[in-house]
Structure 1
């Protein structure tokens, strides 16, 4: 069985093995972490899945009243630590922006630990800030600088599509995204159109990129003359999600959307299909025969006896003086002459 929890409402989902526990949606449960068990909310009740999933952390059980009180106290401490950190940053005049605060009180090697996540345009010397934070919060302080994408993941937000940010909900790792992906999808190269909340290229550009690559490899390009059920025309556009091609008809000039299979000839479909395989190699014996140089056959003694004219010494001297190209031209005439001589000897 599998269940899903979230530490914050509308935050990232984490999957657990419920074990013997059966929490309902909305119940508070204990989730094992590197810093000890933490309180999270059950978003998906335990349910059976068709596939075997291994390696999931085991749920530590339902949160008690003491666990809930401790979680609420840590929330208050995180809010106070954020206010103090912002005030001290302004006093020191550092170009830092506080992104998140973590308060750890169950680690065996430290009593209380405050982790401050911040973003900055460059490296910052915060040694004096750490001393003031430790004095004001009365705890051990760790400052960790994060990038633009990690900042958007920690803060969360709404994307251009109107949904919660992918990095704040389900994405675990940031995969590389390039401008080439936007070009393949015929998107405008305006940074305001293809950038996310973090200011970088949107992660969703990578979702449909393999589909566009497959479509562009098999469909006719823009400007290609094609034949459609409605008549001949020219391709003027593509619609990848619907697997159609926009064609401008030559007769009427109007545009129509045709299926990709209707405008591709059977030969193109066969060559672009994955079932097309190259010709099988020839066997070794046939390959040697095919690659062997072609030489003229050597005349046998019987043939020389039947054609005594070919053994004339004068003819041999003349042939020695001729070039190779002349000999090649004379061979057909020589065969024809010999053939006529054979025909003349036959009646006798």
Structure 2
């Protein structure tokens, strides 16, 4: 058995598991951990528990430490710097005449990397843009092209149901959604009725799909 805690780095982000060691970590604690992107600040959403070996991907990285108030200030400063970096990014995109739409930007906690998220109709050759940005910010630059569902997750909004988007408030990952699910639920197949803000099929078609399939099996 292994001790684990589950950590999220964004409000509706994917949950990653770490070894809490002997640290006094509880649910809703904030912690500093090492990830593939670098050192990051996250919130514990799954409290300390024991799991079997086949429930996690080994080896687990250990939580570095519990976050401090000073770390919170660093995170807020990083957010401010990232918003400022978005202004420069748009200027550089215009200079290089690239067809890309900036969605968001973020620094890793340790400020070793600055990540820009963008959408584009096709592939974009942004090699010169990256060089230009690196000369300005003096950190590692990563440009990540995302899809329309990820764009909606980042930007948020109000769904057709009148509630905040599920993807931006609690969904950690996207599940596959098919038109068959709408048919099984006897919904209108009008795209405007079953599409979310992203223009793709609404994620909530998946939520009750299993219940409808069970009903069909019992009929």
Task: Report TM bin, short chain.
Answer: 0.7 to 0.9
Which residue of 2 is the match for residue 223 of structure 1? none
Shift of 1:126: 3.1
Counterparts in 2 of 1:166 and 1:84: CA distance versus 1, 3 Å: same
Indicate the residue corresponding to 1:327 in structure 2.
none
1:32 is paired with a residue of what secondary structure? strand
SS state of the match for residue 151, structure 1? helix
Specify which of 100, 104, 107 is matched with residue 100 of structure 1.
104
Q: Aligned to 1:37, what secondary structure does the other structure show?
A: strand
Q: What TM-score comes out, normalization by structure 1 length?
A: 0.51
SS at structure 1 position matched to 2:114: strand
Q: Which has the higher contact order (CA 8 A, sep 6+)?
A: 2
Assess, with a 3 A threshold, how the Cα gap between structure 1 residues 158 and 13 changes in structure 2: closer, same or farther: farther
Q: In structure 1, what is the equivalent of residue 84 of structure 2?
A: 80
- Secondary structure (helix, strand or coil) at the match of 1:153 reads helix
Aligned to 2:197: 197
Higher strand share: 2
Structure-2 separation of matches of 1:74 and 1:68: 10
Instruction: Give the alignment's Cα RMSD to 1 decimal.
Output: 3.2
Shift of 1:153: 3.0
Matches of residues 96-245 of structure 1 in structure 2 within 5 Å?
96-104=100-108, 112-161=112-161, 162-166=163-167, 169-172=170-173, 174-219=174-219
**Aligned to 2:65, what secondary structure does the other structure show?**
coil
Output aligned runs, 1:1-348, within 5 Å: 3-8=5-10, 10-12=11-13, 14=15, 15-24=17-26, 26-43=28-45, 46=47, 48=49, 52=52, 53-55=55-57, 57-64=61-68, 67-104=71-108, 112-161=112-161, 162-166=163-167, 169-172=170-173, 174-219=174-219
Aligned 8 A contact 1:6 1:12 in 2: yes
Residues paired across the two proteins, number: 211
TM (normalized to structure 2)? 0.75
What is the CA distance between 1:47 and its match in structure 2? 5.0
The change in CA–CA distance for 1:163 and 1:75 in structure 2 (over 3 A counts) is: closer
Contact 1:4-1:13 at 8 Å conserved across structures: no
Structure 1 residues 39, 141: CA separation in 2 closer, same or farther (over 3 Å shift)?
closer
Match of 1:287 in 2: none
- Unpaired segments ≥5 residues, structure 2: none
The residue number in structure 2 matching 1:233 is: none
